[in-house]
Each structure stands twice: as C-alpha cells, then as structure tokens.
Chain A
C-alpha cells in the first residue's frame, strides 16, 4: 500500500505505553480548526522513529510521537484539548 496515511487506530499500541486510558476512543479538539473527533479518525503518517497525526479536516499536525534510545517524545501542541469519556463496560 502506498496511499499515504493510516488512521488513529494505529496510535493505540504506542500510546498504550504512555497513557493510562485507551486513547483511540477519546475525543481530540484540533488546535487549528477546533474540529472535534475521535482520535481514531485522525490521519496518521508512520515513518522513521515515530509518527505524525494530522487533523482530517484542516491538516494541522495535532500530535507527533517518537521513540528514541533516550526515551519517548510526545508533542501535542496542535491539540487544543482531549476528552476522555467514562469507560464503557466490557
């Protein structure tokens, strides 16, 4: 496949090592256009030591993540807010 991006479901594994809650079902507010949607809906570009997640609407870089020998970097400056709903049963 060479069609550019995957989606926010691909964030689940790496970010499970960072967050105490499941992240792909949370709602992220774009710092650029204020669109709010599930993290699972972001466009994710994988490559190198990490990935970039962009707003599907305005393309703002909402999240950058990298794993290095010295630790993990998470850059959320393009995300205005994250909302975590109460956990569903199951």
Chain B
C-alpha cells in the first residue's frame, strides 16, 4: 500500500514534467498501424515466427506509430492484395465500397496503415513479399504504399534480414531511419574477463569484439562508426586503446604518461577525442587528436573529473562529472576551452554517466538523487532549462544510459533482474526490453 502511494506520488511528479521534456523527444500525435502476421510456404514456414516478431518490433521500436491492438484484428487477415473480398457492387466513388480496407480502418482496429505479406522459398532462398497499405484510401489500387520483394538466406538470420529491410522501408515512408542496422557495443564478462562485445540493437547477433584477457571496459564509438575506443588494463595500468571497426585491429593511440587514462569520447567530426587522465596526479579532462597527439588540458582542479562528452551538434559544449563542489560527484557543463562552467545537477546524491542525445538538446544520465549511495536511476535533462525527468524507479540499479541514433531510445544497464544486464527503452521510460541475459553485461553504447 505504501509502495503504491509512493508510486502514485512519483507518477504524479513525473506527469507534471513529462510533456515538457519527453513530448519533444518521442512526439505526441501518431498514426496507427496494424501489422498482419505473415504465413510461409515450404521451408519458409519455419522462419515466419522470426519474420513476424522482427517486423513488429522494428516498427514498434521506432515509436512513430500507435500500434493497433492485435486482439482487435479481423479474423481473416490478407496475405496478398488480391485476398481482398470483392465488393458486391464496386463503386470507386464510394469509400464504403471496399470492406476489405474498412475492416481495418473502422473500429475496433482503427488503423491508418496495414502492413502484410507472406514468405516463400525461391531457388533455396527466402523471399518476403511485403505490402504497406493506407487503409483510409477508398480502394486497393490507391491504398498501396509499398509492394516489394525481399531476399535472404533460408535461415533465422535471413528471416531477420528480410524483416529488417521491410520494416526499414515502411519507416522510410515516414521519414524515419530504422534502428535495424544499428549496433550496441557493451561490456560482458562471459568469456571469463570483461571484454567489449557487440550486438544488434534488438539483442540479436551477440559477438565478442576484444580479447585482452585483463579488464576491458568503457567502450565509445566514433561518430562515423569506424572506430571503437575503450579502456583496458595494460602493464601500465588502465589505458585508452582504439580499434578499427573495419579491420577489427588495433590502431595507434598515444596515452599520456599517467596512472589512469579513461573515458575516451569523440568530437562530432571524429578528429579529436576528449578523455580523463591523471597526468597531474588528479583525473582531469583533456582533449587530443584522435591518435592522442597534440594533448591539451581542459580542466584545472584538484579533484576527480571524469566522463567528458562533447555536444554532437554544436561540438562546443562538454558535459562531464566532477567532485569540484566538494559534495559527491555532480554533472557539469562547460565550453570546449574549459570556460563557462555551470553545474547542471542540484548537488544531491551522486550524478554520473552523462550522454547527449543526437540533437544535442538533452542529456541522459544516472543519478542517486532521493536514494542511498549506489542506487542510480536514469534521468533525462533538458540542458537549456535544467528541467529533468526520472525514467526509472524502484527497479534496481540503473546506469550508463546512451541514446540511440534515432534520439528516441535509450540503452542502459540495470540489475533489476538480479544481475547487471543491458536493457533498452523508449526515452519516456516505456517499451522496456532486456537485450542480454548471459553473464554480467554493462556499459552499453548505441552506435549507427
């Protein structure tokens, strides 16, 4: 009961601020879409489950549609446009003349769009026949938005491929890039050591990227997704290493002589890196060329300062974490010269793990405000106004949020299920999905 009250109060609090911040991010007015389950012929039938779940998830994850509730769908779903029931008396001027479309556009489905199709085997390959109809149109001919074939290998990876492509085409009609090609880099201990791993944005295709067999953590990807910087324990202690994501080999980065070099993060042009280094005896913020040359110190304090992140739009603002006000570490912003320093968080609790959204307007971060030390929750702040909302609560420790390329999703690490795992959610806190389950997984970054 007490919990419920707390929850209600918390919800009420969020509700006040939500429209301000979250409305700008995830949008409010949405078209409704229905996605009919596809069937398959022959060997393709085995792959239809993967096809259907992948399409549905890609479309739902894009967060630009209202998903028409599946339980309301008509019993007879089309596989092809010609499955349309022939009207008794066809009248192109009468919108009611084609009940096939109206089955979907009228209550209870109330959809604006319908995606449907089927799969088949052709020369050993998997083929997806996909259509998107605007069911508000008066007839089948006018309704068709997409009608296209997609080819892939006859296996689950092939099923996911054709489904991702169909979903991406649908989203493109609405000016949205699909997340389907995007990758999440993260840290996993499942090889026995912490190493960098990668996976598709939906948790598929999990692969080990590094093999240093020490402690390898804190990944960061260049804006063009060609380079991966991270921190690994070398004989000189924790240092920054860089890999090419094209050749998967190590490329040069010259670390300053320091006990700790960490938190490498690229400038928007990919030509420089900001990072934290203890050259001076205190972890301070530095900027250097992407290979570590031309080192310049940005901050000058005698406290620990970490996690600098350059605004991806302006290339001029840096948010970072510092203990400079004498309380537990807080979030600050400054310009890239180290001037115009401003504290962003209130001074309560410990604030950490800042991440800019791609538009450079909002920062997601982890904060213990209102909780005991260590009980982090994910927050999003409008940097211009300082207004913030709390996205997680009452579900374990939540940290390291980073934004998806679409600026609407956040991937983060949470131990809400017992062990630390990677989760994604829409930036309003809904659409939670667990992406990993093997070993301990943490520190995700979402790259294009």
Interaction A to B: no
User: Which residue numbers of A lie inside 8 Å of B, CB to CB?
Assistant: none
